Chain A
Amino acid sequence: MPLSAYLTLAALVFCIGLFGTVTRRNTVGILLGIELMLNAVNINLVAFSRFRGIDVGMVFTLFAICITVAEVALGLAIVILLFRTRRTATADHVDWLKG
């Protein structure tokens, strides 16, 4: 399979993730969307590393996965805290920064 196939897949996954991030009302759904976008990036990295024969891309992917895990843990913690204090997990209800 050519490189473009992988890149197309990655772009598709990224768009699905972005769509989810922008449209989901539940904060957990938004986090899921963010995960999808990150993984799309990972696909890109692995694909390029494979086709160009540069192993550094693989290493970066591993790092990215690790950091994603940490980020998700942090994000979920925020969601839980939000739920505890505001009794809601809906993103639209959180608009304290409204001008």
Chain B
Amino acid sequence: MLSDPVTLALIALLLPAAAFVIIGTLPPLRRSGRPAAYFSIACMLGAFSAAILGWSAGRGAAEPVRAVWSWLPSAAGPFATVGVLVDAQSSAMLLLVTLVALLVQVYSTAYLHDEPAPALGRYYALQSLFAFSMMGVVLAPTMLQLFICWELVGVCSCLLIGFWYRKPEAARAALKAFWVTKAGDVGLLIGIVLLHRTTGTFDLLEMRQMAESGLIPLAGLSLITFCIYLGAMGKSAQFPLHVWLPDAMEGPTPVSALIHAATMVTAGVYLLVRLEWLFALTPDVLAIVAWIGALTALLAAILACVQNDIKRVLAYSTVSQLGYMMAAIGAGFAAAGFLHLLTHGIFKALLFLGAGAVIHAVHSNDITDMGGLARKMPQTAITFLIGTLSLAGIPLFAGFVSKEEILGAVWTGGFVVPFAMLLLAAFLTAFYMFRVVFLAFFGSRKPEAGSGKPVAHPHDAPFVMTGPLWLLALSAMAIGIYFTMHTPEAEFHPPAWLAPAAVGVAAAGILLAWLTYQRQIVSADMLATLFAPIRAAAEHKFWLDDIYGAIYRYALLAFSRVVGWVDRYLVDGVLNVVSAWTLDGGDYLRRIQTGKVQDYVWALAFGLLGLMAWIGVAW
């Protein structure tokens, strides 16, 4: 029984759902805070164990297994089904989601130590709901279930970004995240409906069979895949819909680690990996995916270089890495993107949790407030360094193989310009990450440079926070070493110069950061003046927020004014005229009613007479 992957997947899926329902519907438990946290963690631990067992049980099976239940019945078989679909991708993804969710929940008990108990209960209820919905996306056998869980994930993201809802920035960021992703989700919904009209089913496996036997008509398919890509674009923060992700950092750091680094934002990439066979039919859309992915990777990397907020650097870095994954998918090698998704999930969660530990100790997000932390918090520094090396793509660390795979995939796919952009982004990635490392963990703190907040002796976090860090760091290293030893069987053969080039570029980035921020041989001001135009653009976030603001102000508000005028003067005007006529008419007609009884008798008698005369004439 417990070796059946489907049963295990169901257990993993339903345990957090149960935790959410129980914490949500039992107010005493929710308001007690800490017990709710332990309960949620226990359920998550169960889900994680089930995911591990399911992964090891399903590793040998090549064929996807699934269990579906009829949900919306109709005359010709069920219209929609729900269930779980377990294959290599979904069980690997399930493992990542449950691992990070578990570690984040454990970590949060210490990070949110000072929160009042009811808020903590709310936090864990939402965390459980998030874990459930994310697994719902991962395991979805139909597009409909995927969409429902997709939206649930978005709601959880919005609520958790706005966890400190009394803070105006957090409330604004939550709404912004919700609306921007919603803009993409409209596309996804249209895509799903159009796809259902074309294929007649929501079921992924059936659709895949149709696609592989060429039964899906190609006419109009580009529109469908592009609509679906729009959904992925919003969720996975692709340019120009990435603007919500940096703002989402207003939420608690563990939330950023789980939702905005490891799992939810990768849902878009995962969706495209799932629908790889569908997108393969529309190479033009895939080219768009690749170009936008590469553009996102480069622009976000540039933006990350000018941020002083440690979480925002990581947020732009996430956007950039998502661009990498999308570029690989666009080049036609979804497996490379998926591999990077998994490794990135591990080391980016590690980086965010490390940043959380630093913020917890320093009580500031600003890297200029930090400095020399490596001595005071050695454990955090070491784990953060491992995460940074992984992100930079140094051999023996997790990001190396996956990033090289992506570069190889894009090169093999024939996208030369995106390849160059990604290579430049790799250089910038190494540069901005080591800028953070050198400024925050090495060197010395310059009080006059930062915001001048007093810092009480920073020290390493308690074990519940460092434990997850070490676990993630060791996973990142283990994955890195494993893949460096056993290079995955690639679907393509990248040129021999690729790996040295990738590593060389990363090393150059690290070297530049070292020279600039550690040895200060290269002056940061000189770099700033050298790249003044780019720097100015980056500091204004390429004016994207301004453009959106202008669109809102001039286009949308002007349009609203026109609509408002039409409503106020045309629609309401017609009604007002009619109602005025009615009133006037009533005013005239009421004079008939004299109230005098004899007038009524008169009217009655002569009315009757007139009626009889009329009947007589008619006869």
Of residues 4 to 61 in A, which have CB atoms within 8 Å of B's CB atoms? 18, 21-23, 30
B592 interface contact, C-beta 8 A: yes
* Residue pair A98, B594 in contact (C-beta under 8 Å): yes
* Residue pair A94, B597 in contact (C-beta under 8 Å): yes
Q: Of A21, A23, A30, A97, which contacts B595 at CB under 8 A? A: A97
Per the bound structure, the CA–CA distance linking A30 and B601 in Å amounts to 10
Per the bound structure, the CA–CA distance linking A91 and B594 in Å amounts to 12
* Residue pair A22, B591 in contact (C-beta under 8 Å): no
* Residue pair B595, A98 in contact (C-beta under 8 Å): yes
* Interchain residue pairs with CB less than 8 A apart (5): A18-B605, A22-B601, A30-B598, A96-B595, A98-B595
A18-B605, A22-B605 given; A99·B598 CB < 8 A: no
B593 interface contact, C-beta 8 A: yes
Q: Of A18, A21, A23, A91, which contacts B596 at CB under 8 A? A: A91
Secondary structure type dominating chain B contacts: helix
Q: Which residues of B contact A92 (CB under 8 A)?
A: 596, 598
Chain A proximity mask over B569-590: 1 for CB below 8 Å, otherwise 0 = 0000000000000000000011
**Chain B interface: which size bin?**
10 to 19
B602 interface contact, C-beta 8 A: yes
* Residue pair A94, B596 in contact (C-beta under 8 Å): yes
Residues on B facing A (Cβ under 8 Å) = 589-598, 601-602, 605
Q: Which residues of A contact B590 (CB under 8 A)?
A: 99
Which residue of B589, B592, B601 has the most chain A CB atoms within 10 A of its CB atom? B601
Closest to B602 in A: A22
- Report the interface size for chain A: residues with CB under 8 A from the other chain: 13
Q: Which residues of A contact B595 (CB under 8 A)?
A: 94-99
Closest to B596 in A: A95
Q: Which residues of A contact B591 (CB under 8 A)?
A: 99
Q: Which residues of A contact B593 (CB under 8 A)?
A: 97-99
A21-B601, A22-B602, A22-B605 given; A99·B596 CB < 8 A: no
Per the bound structure, the CA–CA distance linking A30 and B605 in Å amounts to 14
Per the bound structure, the CA–CA distance linking A21 and B596 in Å amounts to 12
Q: Closest approach, in angstroms, between the C-beta of A22 and any C-beta of chain B?
A: 5
Which residue of A23, A30, A91, A99 has the most chain B CB atoms within 10 A of its CB atom? A99
Closest to B597 in A: A91
Q: Which residues of B contact A23 (CB under 8 A)?
A: 598
Q: Which residues of A contact B602 (CB under 8 A)?
A: 22
A18-B605, A22-B605 given; A95·B598 CB < 8 A: no
Chain B proximity mask over A58-99: 1 for CB below 8 Å, otherwise 0 = 000000000000000000000000000000000110111111
* Residue pair A21, B598 in contact (C-beta under 8 Å): yes
Q: Closest approach, in angstroms, between the C-beta of A93 and any C-beta of chain B?
A: 9
Q: Closest approach, in angstroms, between the C-beta of B26 and any C-beta of chain A?
A: 63
